[in-house]
Amino acid sequence: MTTIVVFVESAGSTPRRASLEALGAASQSGASVVAVVTGPNGPAVAKALGAFGAAQVVVLTGADQYSPDATAKDCAAIVCELKASAFLVAASSTGKDLLPRVAALLDCTPHCDCTALRWSGSASGTRPILAGKAIATVSGGGGVFCASLRPNCFAAVEKAAAGTVTTRAASSARLAVVVDVSAKPGTKLDVKEAPIVVSGGRGLRAPESFSLVEDLAAAFGTAAVGASRAVVDAGWRPHSEQVGQTGKTVAPQLYIAVGISGAIQHLAGMRTSKVIVAINKDAAAPIFKVADYGIVGDAFEVLPALTAAVKAAKG
């Protein structure tokens, strides 16, 4: 039986959803799955992973501060020792940073931000390029198939496995170390991870009116706020919220575009969303061409009504 190693990230002592999706993708392949966790909460995170298909969990100890280069060395060493056939991470900020380093240490080529994997015969992956304007099928890459998986594209699978926890001392040679993480205010979800994204554009006319977008996101409970390039360039919203070719590519269950006309660069960043809703004054706006449902109307009129209706529906 082949082995797949998955690096699992956590928020506090909870494994991140996108990492559980990577575990799910690994266990779907039929391989034996080994999870790697690090950080002060490693032991607590490790306990949860047997339920998501991990036969074994390696806890890196002594690494309270995260070092990407040291963690890469540890992951590569574990992959080599177990003669694993694949190494998977979530295509998060940390995962996208870690994967190429591990691949280089294994002298392999990574496949980043995959939206689907196939394990029959040799492994292959599907990954959007040119910000989603084209989809490439990729394979090979050396002895170990190294891939990062786009959040919300794979299912986390609840599957009981042994979940045997072992510890391993983390590499002490470190070239870079995360010395501080200033958490986002409140419980704001990141636009890449959130199952629902409500994005605003120029149609909101002023930065203050983004409160309407925030209200709708809050009504859903599990939604993040996104923004078009135009409003980020205008300084209304931070770049971390930008969806599109020079921002983030997202694939939520539900994407609501408010006052966004739908420039090709924006469409590239959100067209793989499961359901797209567009609210725009201009019935000819290109955003309606990719939307499943559209409302022609002014954001200032539609948003408060929609927020109230969502609140009522959520009961």
Partner 1 sequence: MHIVACVKRVPLTDIQVKVAADGKTLDTAGVEYMLSFYDELAVEEAIRTKEKLGGEVTVLTLGPADASKELRECLAKGADRAMVLPDNAWGTRDARSTAKALAAKVKELGAQLVFTGRVATDRDQGAVGPMLATYLGWACVTDVVSLELTAGGGKAKRETEAGVETVQFSLPAVLTCDKGLNEPRFAGLKGIMAAKKKSIEESTAEQVANQANFDKLELPPPRKEGRILGEGAAAVPALIQALRNEAKVL
Write out the binding residues for partner 1, residues 195-214 only, by CB under 8 A.
Answer: 196
**Of 149 and 271, which CB lies nearer to partner 1 in the complex structure?**
271
**What are the tokens at 253?**
């269950």
**Of 30 and 238, which CB lies nearer to partner 1 in the complex structure?**
238
- In degrees and rounded to multiples of 5, residue 22 shows phi and psi of -65, -40
Q: Work out which of 39, 53, 262, 294 binds partner 1, going by CB under 8 A.
A: 294
Amino acid letter, 219: A
Q: Work out which of 162, 206, 282, 293 binds partner 1, going by CB under 8 A.
A: 293
Specify the stretch interacting with partner 1 by CB under 8 A; choose among 52-60, 159-167, 208-216, 301-309: 301-309
**What are the tokens at 248?**
């983030």
Q: Is the dihedral of CA 237, 241, 247, 249 positive or negative?
A: negative
**Residue bearing tokens 């954001």:** 299
Quote the least distance from Cβ 80 to partner 1, whole Å: 15
CA pair distance 154, 157, nearest whole angstrom: 9
Please check whether residue 130 is in contact with residue 124, taking contact to mean a CB–CB distance below 8 angstroms. Answer: no
In the region spanning residues 66 to 125, those forming contacts with partner 1, defined by CB under 8 A, are 68-69, 72, 92-94, 96-97, 99-101, 103-105, 107-113, 124
Distances in Å between the Cα of 200 and the Cα atoms of 39, 272, 307 are: 36, 18, 14
CA pair distance 146, 144, nearest whole angstrom: 6
Interface with partner 1 includes 296 (CB under 8 A)?
A: yes
**Of 165 and 236, which CB lies nearer to partner 1 in the complex structure?**
236
**What are the tokens at 174?**
């470190």
In the region spanning residues 28 to 67, those forming contacts with partner 1, defined by CB under 8 A, are none
**Of 206 and 305, which CB lies nearer to partner 1 in the complex structure?**
305
Quote the least distance from Cβ 6 to partner 1, whole Å: 17
**Of 40 and 166, which CB lies nearer to partner 1 in the complex structure?**
40
**Of 27 and 150, which CB lies nearer to partner 1 in the complex structure?**
150
**What are the tokens at 117?**
């994997």
**What are the tokens at 300?**
């200032």
CA pair distance 171, 24, nearest whole angstrom: 28
Quote the least distance from Cβ 188 to partner 1, whole Å: 9
Amino acid letter, 98: L
Report strand pairing: 196-200 vs 254-258: parallel
CA pair distance 7, 38, nearest whole angstrom: 9
Specify the stretch interacting with partner 1 by CB under 8 A; choose among 46-54, 79-87, 162-170, 303-311: 303-311
Point out which residues pair with 124 in neighbouring strands.
118, 139
Quote the least distance from Cβ 55 to partner 1, whole Å: 27
In the region spanning residues 218 to 277, those forming contacts with partner 1, defined by CB under 8 A, are 238-240, 242, 245-247, 249, 253-254, 263-265, 271-272, 274-277
CA pair distance 265, 156, nearest whole angstrom: 30
In the region spanning residues 140 to 199, those forming contacts with partner 1, defined by CB under 8 A, are 140-142, 175-184, 190, 192-193, 196
**Of 83 and 133, which CB lies nearer to partner 1 in the complex structure?**
133
